[in-house]
Each structure stands twice: as structure tokens, then as C-alpha cells.
Chain A
């Protein structure tokens, strides 16, 4: 855990340095981000990364490949619901171990932009939880692809290398060219990281952001549900 935090903080420091250098070159502000907002963006983002678990462990896909998934499907539960419950539980623990430490680190050591209104704190909490659910939904779909691909490591690797940009982890989506911004906000990806950060910073309309997140959380869960139903039909259990 300590090792993971070291990595997290090192990358946070590097990202802050690059973004702040870019701000300096642009006379101190880019698209509503000044130095304090940028630091806040980076440290909240580094925390959320572990909380929403952007990069999962591909465990379900490995179980599909090995056939162990049959045991999971046997049980009298809805597989997706059970895994979601497990992931929310993990999130509770990750809140203390992954989200809070980098955020507090940033608050104490860097210029930090705290929410202007008290109600932004609970709203950020709500937004972060929806982000976690959406992240679970996307990861579930990536893992479920193993039912069709058998070896989904290519897709899994692809998600791991692209998600940082698509979700707004490395560079705020507000820095993107306009066409890229418009395209990205039509996808579920900013709901995983950029939306809760925006709620914290007070960027954009909170109600709109939360509704956008809710829509995509519901959408990816629904797609996951139907994909699972179809996938189960493909499962052949060989006796013996």
C-alpha cells in the first residue's frame, strides 16, 4: 500500500510540474485553471484514480478464460450486482487508503482550491460514488468481452493505455481542442474522473454534471446486464 502511494505521489508531482509550467507559459491561466485549481485537479485526480479503480485487475476475464466463471454463474445471485456490491465495498476502503492520502497531501503542501460553498463537499461525494459505479460498469464490459474474445488482454491493455487521456486524468479535458471536448463529453469516460473533479472545483453546472454521470452509470450498467445475458447463453458446461 505504501509502495502504491509512493508511485501515486511521484506521478502527481510530475503532472503538477508539467501543468504548472504550461500555465506559466500561458500567463497563469488556461481554460479556468489557475495554479491552485491545477494542483487541486491533479491531487483529487490522483486520489480518485484508486477510488474509482480506473485500471482493474481483469480477474473476471481470467475466470472466463479458465472456465472458473461457471462457478460464479451457478450461484443464486446476479453476477453483475454481486460484483458491483463488492466494488462499492472496495471503494469504502479505498476512500481512506487511496482517495484521502493524495488529496490531503495536496491540501497541505500545495496551493489548493477548496470548494467555495459547503454544499459542494457532499455533492462531490455523490459524484465520486457515481463515478465509481460508472467505472465499474466500463471495467465490467471490458472484462465481459472475454466471453467473445477468450483472450481479452489486447482490449484490456488498450483500455489501460487510453483511459488516462479519455477520462481527463493526465490533462484536464478543458485543455483539449473544442472538437475533442465535444466528442469526449458525449462518451461515458469523463464521468469517471473529470466530472467529480469539476464538481469539486465548481467548474460547469453541478446539476448537469450529475445528471450526465447518472445517465452513463445507468447506461453502462444496462449494457453490461444485457451483455451478460447474451454471454451466459454462450457458456457450455462440460461435465466430468
Chain B
């Protein structure tokens, strides 16, 4: 049953958004600009310096682009989780539990905002530019890696989103905490991981596996040594990390939902 319902649900959401064309165009543009914000920051910094953490401008742009495109996709599917506190507070989460469908996919399909494609577009454009301007020794495996990286990154970000928002089942007003992790890890992964201090790196690069979104795959593509000392094959493990993160997120979500008690009517 679920395989026919979700396409219909998503189709309905998309049609409703396209009916306000001007408003959609404005929102879309704002998202492209939001994506360019970090790009401008990088470009401004590189008017003052030639390398950041040992990486050139175009290499940093490649990491930023991977992170941006992956975050855009994750935002498209998992961004709705930001509304979870409202669902819980108003009791409409009970409605989701009543339906014979998974709660997580229901929320993810509840409010897919097409304007978020603006972010993805921005990320992909910079990715194209960066890939054309960094020295990469291309091989079929690297082509696969280039395509797999934003996908794996999107899965990692989405998992982070699910875990972070699961805290809202305990802390009803936990949205800002969650945003510190989700938006924070987007900001974190846009730069080479080796520029951060050790504690920050442990939390944001390995516990939250942010380093696997853009940093390690970029190292593998560029054929560069990791200044932090991990071996070269780590750059190829992002899809595995993504699968592990998704599994962990699924477990956390189940655990959280099982502990959910309605707020009553």
C-alpha cells in the first residue's frame, strides 16, 4: 500500500506549491542566495590568504560544494522534522501513529518544500566549477565516488537530523538544540576538518560523522594525504558510514517513538 500512497502524497504537495509561482520564485531565489552566503565567506577569506589548512581555494570550494549539495538534499527530505515539536505539543503526532504507515516517512513526506531545490542547485553549480578547477587524476572509481559522495552526505545529514530531532520527544522545545547540530554540522563540513580544534573535531567530525560528508571523499578525489593522519582508503568509506548512520538513526527514532506519550486532549 505504502508504495502507491507516498508518490501520491508527494505529488499533491508539489502541485500545491507550484500554484503560487511568484512566491515560489522568490523563495527559490532566497535559497540560492542562502547557499551563496558561505561561498562569499570563503571567497572573502581567500582574498587575504592563499591556503586554508593546507588546501587551496578551489579545494575548499569542492568540500563546500559537496557539503552544500548534500545538505540541500537532506533539507528537502528531513527538514520537515523541524516541525516535530509542533506535532508533539499540539498532539497531532497521535494522528500519525494511528495511520498504518511509518511515522518517520509520514513526517518526511508531510511538507516537502520544492524551493529547497534552490540550495541543491547552488551546491551543484559550485561543485561543477570546483571539479573542473582542481587537479584530479580521474579514474572510473573516482567518477563513482564523485556521484556517491553527495548522496552519502545527504544520508548522513538526514540521519543527524533524525537523531537530533528525536530529542524533541523528551525536550519539547528542543528545536534549537537540534538546529545547533544540523545547521552547525553543515557549517562545519563546508571547511577542511583539520582547521578545527581537537574537541570540536571529535564531536562534529567523528561522533556526528561530519568529516565523511565532504572532507575525506575530497581527500580521496584529490589524492591528498590526510593531515590528521588517517589512511587514504578512509575517503572511500562514506557510503558505509552513511549506512551505519542511517541504521543508528532508525534505532534512535524507534526508541524515541516508543517512549512517546501523548499530551492528552
Q: Which of A4, A154, A162 contacts B23 (CB 8 A)?
A: A154
Task: Assess the A4–B196 pair: CB atoms within 8 A.
Answer: no
Number of residues from B at the complex interface, CB < 8 A: 35
Task: Assess the B30–A17 pair: CB atoms within 8 A.
Answer: no
A207 at interface (Cβ–Cβ under 8 A)? no
A residues in contact with B173, CB < 8 Å: 3
Taken residue by residue from 45 to 79, chain A's Cβ proximity to chain B (1 for < 8 Å, 0 otherwise) reads as 00000000000000000000000000000000000
Q: A13-B200, A154-B23 are in contact. Are A3 and B174 (CB under 8 A)?
A: yes
A158 at interface (Cβ–Cβ under 8 A)? yes
- The complex places the Cα of A220 from the Cα of B53 at a distance, in Å, of 42
A187 at interface (Cβ–Cβ under 8 A)? no
B residues in contact with A161, CB < 8 Å: 30, 33-34, 37
Task: Assess the A154–B176 pair: CB atoms within 8 A.
Answer: no
A residues in contact with B195, CB < 8 Å: 17-18, 21
A31 at interface (Cβ–Cβ under 8 A)? yes
* Interface set, chain B 160-202, CB cutoff 8 A to A: 171, 173-177, 179-181, 184, 187-188, 191, 195-197, 200
B1 at interface (Cβ–Cβ under 8 A)? no
Task: Assess the B200–A154 pair: CB atoms within 8 A.
Answer: no
- The complex places the Cα of A10 from the Cα of B208 at a distance, in Å, of 14
A26 at interface (Cβ–Cβ under 8 A)? yes
B residues in contact with A21, CB < 8 Å: 52-53, 191, 195
Closest to A26 in B: B49
Which residue of A25, A157, A180 has the most chain B CB atoms within 10 A of its CB atom?
A: A25
Q: Which of A10, A17, A165 contacts B41 (CB 8 A)?
A: A165
Task: Assess the B175–A22 pair: CB atoms within 8 A.
Answer: no
A121 at interface (Cβ–Cβ under 8 A)? no
B residues in contact with A17, CB < 8 Å: 191, 195-197, 200
Number of residues from A at the complex interface, CB < 8 A: 30
Task: Assess the A175–B200 pair: CB atoms within 8 A.
Answer: no
Task: Assess the A25–B47 pair: CB atoms within 8 A.
Answer: no
A198 at interface (Cβ–Cβ under 8 A)? no
Q: Which of A6, A14, A151, A165 contacts B177 (CB 8 A)?
A: A6
Main secondary structure of the interface of B (DSSP, over half): helix
Q: A7-B176, A161-B34, A162-B33 are in contact. Are A177 and B41 (CB under 8 A)?
A: no
What is the count of residue pairs linking A and B with beta-carbon distances less than 8 angstroms?
A: 89
Closest chain-A Cβ to B53's Cβ sits at a distance in Å of 5
Task: Assess the A157–B177 pair: CB atoms within 8 A.
Answer: no
B27 at interface (Cβ–Cβ under 8 A)? yes
- The complex places the Cα of A105 from the Cα of B27 at a distance, in Å, of 36
A residues in contact with B200, CB < 8 Å: 13-14, 17
- The complex places the Cα of A176 from the Cα of B51 at a distance, in Å, of 17
A171 at interface (Cβ–Cβ under 8 A)? yes
Task: Assess the B40–A25 pair: CB atoms within 8 A.
Answer: no
- The complex places the Cα of A180 from the Cα of B44 at a distance, in Å, of 10
A30 at interface (Cβ–Cβ under 8 A)? yes
Closest to A20 in B: B195
Q: A17-B197, A165-B40 are in contact. Are A154 and B174 (CB under 8 A)?
A: no
- The complex places the Cα of A165 from the Cα of B41 at a distance, in Å, of 8
Task: Assess the B176–A3 pair: CB atoms within 8 A.
Answer: yes
Closest to A30 in B: B48
- The complex places the Cα of A158 from the Cα of B34 at a distance, in Å, of 8
Task: Assess the B30–A25 pair: CB atoms within 8 A.
Answer: no
B residues in contact with A4, CB < 8 Å: 176
Q: Which of B26, B30, B184 contacts A7 (CB 8 A)?
A: B184
- The complex places the Cα of A6 from the Cα of B184 at a distance, in Å, of 11
- The complex places the Cα of A158 from the Cα of B25 at a distance, in Å, of 13
Closest chain-B Cβ to A30's Cβ sits at a distance in Å of 5
Task: Assess the A151–B23 pair: CB atoms within 8 A.
Answer: yes
Task: Assess the A10–B44 pair: CB atoms within 8 A.
Answer: no
Top-3 shortest CB links A-B: A21-B195, A3-B176, A154-B26
A-B contact pairs, 24 of them (CB 8 A): A4-B176, A7-B176, A7-B179, A10-B184, A17-B195, A18-B45, A18-B191, A21-B191, A22-B52, A25-B50, A25-B52, A26-B49, A157-B30, A161-B37, A162-B33, A165-B41, A170-B41, A171-B41, A171-B45, A175-B44, A175-B45, A175-B47, A175-B48, A177-B44
Q: 16 additional contacts, CB 8 Å, given A10-B180, A14-B196, A165-B37?
A: A3-B177, A6-B180, A7-B176, A7-B177, A14-B188, A14-B200, A22-B49, A22-B52, A154-B26, A157-B27, A161-B33, A161-B34, A164-B37, A175-B45, A176-B44, A176-B47
